Amino acid sequence: MTEDRFERGKQALIDLNGEETAQRVLDSLADVSPKLADSLVSWGFGEIYTRPQLVPRDRQLVTLGMLTALGGCEPQLEVHVNASLNAGLTAAEIVEALLQSAAYCGFPKALNATAVAKKVFAERGLLPVSGD
Amino acid sequence: MTEDRFERGKQALIDLNGEETAQRVLDSLADVSPKLADSLVSWGFGEIYTRPQLVPRDRQLVTLGMLTALGGCEPQLEVHVNASLNAGLTAAEIVEALLQSAAYCGFPKALNATAVAKKVFAERGLLPVSGD
Amino acid sequence: MTEDRFERGKQALIDLNGEETAQRVLDSLADVSPKLADSLVSWGFGEIYTRPQLVPRDRQLVTLGMLTALGGCEPQLEVHVNASLNAGLTAAEIVEALLQSAAYCGFPKALNATAVAKKVFAERGLLPVSGD
Amino acid sequence: MTEDRFERGKQALIDLNGEETAQRVLDSLADVSPKLADSLVSWGFGEIYTRPQLVPRDRQLVTLGMLTALGGCEPQLEVHVNASLNAGLTAAEIVEALLQSAAYCGFPKALNATAVAKKVFAERGLLPVSGD
Amino acid sequence: MTEDRFERGKQALIDLNGEETAQRVLDSLADVSPKLADSLVSWGFGEIYTRPQLVPRDRQLVTLGMLTALGGCEPQLEVHVNASLNAGLTAAEIVEALLQSAAYCGFPKALNATAVAKKVFAERGLLPVSGD
Amino acid sequence: MTEDRFERGKQALIDLNGEETAQRVLDSLADVSPKLADSLVSWGFGEIYTRPQLVPRDRQLVTLGMLTALGGCEPQLEVHVNASLNAGLTAAEIVEALLQSAAYCGFPKALNATAVAKKVFAERGLLPVSGD
């Protein structure tokens, strides 16, 4: 049962972020906090993320909002901008979500998040973003 | 032109929150910070919210995430849980977005936000939420 | 197995907060987000809190620091000041932890947290606190 | 020497907030965390606030910005809106500082802070604010 | 009219930050989120910052407080320490504002902000700061 | 008297962080904000940290919680993971405190803090951490 949760969560993590990123996250925790890796995978992904009540694309919209508002989560935001694209959000939709964050979180956090998104878009050949 | 922005924004605010809530927000600022009301309506709603790059339902998902993560924004969250329902999100989808916030913002903020949502759902006769 | 986690977590929640508070938390979520209640109990308490690597008293010290720093978590802080006393921290030690938070989070958050602690101490007949 | 710091700080606290508010703050901490009261007065006011490098009016501008950005500090903000008026800022200048916070912290925190300011202005007969 | 706002805002941005920094901010957004750049310039600077109710120097004091309290806004703080000097604040006054932030936001954020200020002061030949 | 506070605080800072780190902190502030250094040492360490009401090990548990929750305090967290080890917490206990932070602050902040801890553990030859 526990293993089921882990396997289901790991598959969801791979589906969303790709095998390489998923493995990198797990490997980085293996020698310091394996239970944190297990919690992220088994609970965060296996129990929560994979629930059918909200599709992955919609979950990423919520997550983009949360990570921008929290601040100081640039590494996680980079992973989730990639995940957002993988889940079917367009670059223009991601940019629009971060634009909206200027109204709710202020310009500094919106600018920080947009800089992270730009970096990801550049790596994936998605610049310029044609949102307007 | 400026007036256009204001009128367009005010209509969007009414469409989303209803005439009464929209008017209450504007009235509460009229004698203290009319420019803040104008900025909220003309820029926040007239220029940003009404852009077609993201539909209202999707914008609410981002906003639920931001308000939960910011913390201390219970009054705004109450307005936006109502707005989320008005924009087409189901109570179960809202609950799911806040459940996901437990993984990104921790239980305390998720619990605070869920308590606000419960209050709104109770007022609108949407309890119990059948998400599972 | 899942049930084991839940039962173990619920027992830990009761041991820490008393049956009444534990039940009140679960009841408040039952009709809106039962999965949030389950996650809090099964994962938060059943999987994390009950790990032997840190005793309950030490966990409360970490938690007092987190809730004070997050801000806007007064309801949770009230539960955890009670839990801290139940786990063996003295009122003077709790006060000292919150005093230290002035240096790391600033006076406003330290004052808010200390006001919550004072309310709990008053209810439990622990005033005045003789820390000095 | 320590007593000097305390006396100097207490006088500054009284000059800024009035005798009643100053005494209320100290009294509320007397039976729970007298060292927090002493730190606030002796260090916060006696050592920092009374330095001549920044005049009280300017210090309040910084503080209005900090309390708005932190969020969840409405009780402290209420004290400091009063203190800001006592230090020579006009209601229109305070409103303008909070308007600017919309651009840096987002509308929710700006609205929360403006609501606190409005409450104080109402108590002191300063409504409507004629800022425009 | 809209163009007026943009031109007025751009001129304010240049007056405050210099042509090079202003252009760098706009260029960095051009291919990813031109509307965010437009909002920052037209609304943030053209509509809010240029209001006469608060002089630029006073606005910088509020902003230094907000950016320090938000945390994780070191890039924006660097721009605004420069802007603060350009708006007439002395290095000693900036240092004093950040010293005060220790009392309201805690030492970690005050230390982070002071490190940013030191970097800017070094670049502009303003070290040592003679505040005492 | 003031000097006593400073000397006592400096000794505590050295005892906790080692002479080199303590001197580096003081030196970095000497030419920009000597009063911030003095406040950190004389008040933060000399007056607060050295109080006997809570032992150093317990204070570090509170501090690990606060720094993780605040976010954006990676430099301070690095100093305090070292300090935590120096104060008698084991690597496994530190990891456990940060694991618990996932439940209260969310995964992103827990992951950021754990990455800092891993860096310190690597420097001190404490990997792998055998917590389970």
What distances in angstroms separate CA E16 from CA A101, B96, E13, one per listed residue? Answer: 25, 45, 5
pLDDT at A130: 82
Distances (CA, A) of A98 to A29, A58, B39, E32: 29, 15, 18, 11
CB contact under 8 A, C36 and B118: no
Q: Same domain for C22 and C8?
A: yes
Subunits with 3+ C-beta pairs closer than 8 A to C: A, B, D, E, F
Instruction: Say if A132 falls within a structural domain.
Output: no
What ipTM describes this predicted complex?
A: 0.95
In chain E, the number of structural domains is 2
Q: Which residues contact E98 (CB under 8 A, 6 or more apart)?
A: E64, E68, E110, E113, E114, E117, F33, F36
What are residue A128's phi and psi, to 5 degrees?
-75, 150
**pLDDT higher than 80, residue E1:** no
Q: Is E21 on the interface with B (CB under 8 A)?
A: no
Of B77, B64, B47, give the one whose Cα is nearest residue B105.
B64
How many angstroms away from the CA of D47 is the closest CA of chain E? Answer: 10
Residue A130 lies in a domain: no
- pLDDT(A100) > 90: yes
Closest Cα of chain F to A107: distance in Å?
17
Tell me: do C61 and C48 sit in the same domain.
Answer: no
**How far apart, in whole angstroms, are the C-alpha atoms of residue B69 and residue F69?**
12
Nearest to C66 among F99, F105, F131 (CB): F105
DSSP D24-84: HHHHHHHTT-HHHHHIIIIIIIIIIIT-TTS-HHHHHHHHHHHHHHH-S-HHHHHHHHHHH
- In the predicted structure, residue B63 carries a pLDDT above the cut 90: yes
pLDDT score recorded for residue D1: 54
C-alpha torsion sign, points F24, F29, F35, F40? negative
pLDDT in tens, E33-52: 999 999 999 999 999 999 99
Contact status of D40 with chain C (Cβ, < 8 Å):
yes
Q: Which of C13, C28, C53 is the last residue of a domain?
A: C53
* Chain A residue with the nearest C-alpha to that of D101: A106
Q: Which chains touch F (3 or more CB pairs under 8 A)?
A: A, B, C, D, E
Distance from CA of E11 to the nearest CA of B (A): 20
> According to the model, what pLDDT value does residue E3 have?
75
Chain A (108-127) residues lying within 8 Å, Cβ to Cβ, of chain D? 108
Which residue in A has a C-alpha nearest to residue D100's C-alpha? A106
D11 Cα to chain F: minimum distance (Å):
20
Give the mean pLDDT of D71-98: 97
Query: How confident is residue E128, by pLDDT bands cut at 50, 70 and 90?
Result: very high
**Per the domain annotation, does E112 fall within a domain?**
yes
Q: What is the pLDDT of residue F1?
A: 54
Q: State the count of interchain CB pairs (< 8 A) between D and F.
A: 16
Is D7 in the A-facing interface, judged by CB distances under 8 Å? no
Cα A3 to the center of its chain, rounded Å: 24
Q: Same domain, yes or no, for F16 and F75?
A: no
Per-residue pLDDT, F131:
62
Name the one residue in this structure whose structure tokens are 């009122």.
Answer: C91
Indicate whether E72 and E82 sit together in one domain: yes
Q: Are residues C42 and C64 in the same domain?
A: no
**In this model, does residue C1 exceed pLDDT 60?**
no
Q: Take residue D1 and report the two structure tokens written for it.
A: 């020497």
> Cβ of C130: how many Cβ atoms within 10 Å?
11
Mean pLDDT on E57-69 = 98
Residue D27 and residue D65 share a domain:
no
pLDDT single digits (tens) F14-36: 999 999 999 999 999 999 999 99
Please check the confidence at residue A2 and state whether its pLDDT lies above 90. no
Unique residue bearing structure tokens 């007439």: E88
Segment B116-124 shows an average pLDDT of: 98
Domain region containing F66? 54-125
Residue B29's pLDDT band (boundaries 50, 70, 90)? Answer: very high
Shared domain for F9 and F29, answered yes or no, is yes
- B127 touches B94 (CB < 8 A): no
Helix A74-86 to helix A19-30 angle, to the nearest 10 degrees? 150
Angle between helices B107-123 and C74-86 (to 10 degrees): 130
For chain F, give the mean pLDDT: 95
d(CA C49, CA C72): 23
- Residue F37: pLDDT band (50, 70, 90) is very high
Is F36–E102 a contact, with Cβ atoms under 8 angstroms apart? yes
Domain shared by B68 and B111, yes or no: yes
C2 touches chain A (CB under 8 A): yes
**D132 C-beta neighbours (distance < 10 Å), count:** 11
Query: How far, in Å, CA of E44 to CA of E49, rounded?
Result: 6
Q: Which residues contact F26 (CB under 8 A, 6 or more apart)?
A: F10, F37, F41
Of C37, C53, C69, which one is at a domain's C-terminal end?
C53
Identify the band that residue D131 occupies on the pLDDT scale cut at 50, 70 and 90.
Answer: low
Minimal C-alpha gap between B106 and chain F (Å): 4
Q: What is the pLDDT of residues D15-24, one digit of tens each?
A: 999 999 999 9
CATH code assigned at F69: 1.20.1290.10
Q: Average pLDDT in the F57-69 region?
A: 98
**Mean pLDDT in chain E?**
95
Residue F3 has a pLDDT of 75
Binned at pLDDT 50, 70 and 90, residue B109 comes out as: very high
* pLDDT value at D125 more than 90: yes
Confidence of residue F126 (pLDDT cuts 50, 70, 90): very high
Residue D3: the pLDDT is 75
What is the Cα–Cα distance from C119 to D75, expressed in whole angstroms? Answer: 16
Chains A and D form CB pairs within 8 A to the count of 18
- Give the span between the Cα atoms of B115 and F89, in whole angstroms: 37
Residue F19 exposed, middle or buried by CB count within 10 Å (0-12, 13-18, 19+) = exposed
The answer to whether the Cβ–Cβ distance between C61 and F61 falls below 8 Å is: yes
- Whether residue C121 sits in one domain with residue C58: yes
Q: Is residue D1 part of a domain?
A: yes
Helix-, strand-, coil-residue percentages of chain F, each rounded to 5:
80, 0, 20
Q: pLDDT tens across A36-56, in order?
A: 999 999 999 999 999 999 999
Predicted pLDDT at C130: 83
Q: What pLDDT does D41 receive? A: 97
pLDDT above 90 for F2: no
Q: What is the largest CA-CA distance in chain B?
A: 49
In this prediction, residue C132 carries a pLDDT of 61
Residue B47 in contact with residue E43, Cβ under 8 Å? yes
Q: Residue C85 pLDDT > 90, yes or no? A: yes
Q: Which residue of E has its CA nearest to A120?
A: E32
Q: Is E130 inside any structural domain?
A: no
Residue of E nearest to F69 (CA): E71
Asked if the Cβ–Cβ distance from E109 to F29 is below 8 Å, we say no
Residue A39 to residue C51, Cβ atoms within 8 A: no
> Are A46 and C42 within 8 A, CB to CB?
no
Structural domain contains residue F82: yes
| pLDDT band per the 50, 70, 90 thresholds, residue C131 | low
What token pair was written down for B116?
Answer: 């606000």
Characterise A71 by phi-psi region: left (phi > 0), alpha (psi -120 to 50), beta (else): left
- Pairwise CA distance, residues B122 & B81, whole Å: 12
Rounded CA-CA distance E107/C105 in Å is 7
Preferred mutation among E64, E76, E107, E116 to probe F, highest tally of F CBs within 10 A: E107
Does E117 map to a domain?
yes
Instruction: Give yes or no: residues E37 and E61 share one domain.
Output: no
pTM over 0.95: yes
Banded model confidence at residue F130, pLDDT cuts 50, 70, 90: confident
Q: Would you state the structure tokens that stand for residue A19, as one six-digit string? A: 């095998």
Q: C 67-86 residues with CB below 8 A of B? A: 67, 70-73, 75-76
Q: Is D132 within a domain?
A: no
| Residue of chain E whose Cα is closest to the Cα of A96 | E33
Q: What are phi and psi of C122, to 5 degrees?
A: -60, -45
Q: Which two tokens stand for residue C30?
A: 């039952």
Q: Is F31 on the interface with D (CB under 8 A)?
A: no
Is B44 in contact with B9 (CB distance < 8 Å)? yes
Q: Are residues C66 and C81 in the same domain?
A: yes
Tokens of C43: 């994962």
One domain for residues C67 and C43: no
Q: What's the pLDDT band for A132 if we cut at 50, 70, 90?
A: low
Beta strands in A1-132 (DSSP E): none
